[in-house]
Structure 1
Amino acid sequence: MSLRMAETIGSAVREARRRAGLTQEQVAEAIELNPLAFSRLERGKLLPSVPTLALLSQVLKTPTDVLLGASGVGA
């Protein structure tokens, strides 16, 4: 696992979740992920699978490239 990638994705997911006004529990339920696993994902300790990343993109209404840490998006 790439620790740097996991941290980048976790940070982007946390920011998008907060912008959406959702709790960790709400997002975890929406993507059918254990809340503890979702917490690990946000803290950069767990890389999401591709299907999970796609679900996060839908639930958080955020493009996957942003969740993957693409720079310059929205600037």
Structure 2
Amino acid sequence: MDVTCEVVGEGTETLLLADDATYADVCRATGYSPHEVTVLVDGSPVPEDAPVESSEVKVLRLIKGG
């Protein structure tokens, strides 16, 4: 399955994922842990363990600071 993935602030790439991939797999394919980012589909966050059902996603890095 091909998924167009925009990592906000870094660019867009096409990921080749297994048919049974989850959104956590999308995170890992972009080089991030699911704990570092959230995946958005149509502007809404999706659970990391949900199966990928969209051909276009955004990955948003989460920022922690103090």
1 or 2, which has the higher helix percentage? Answer: 1
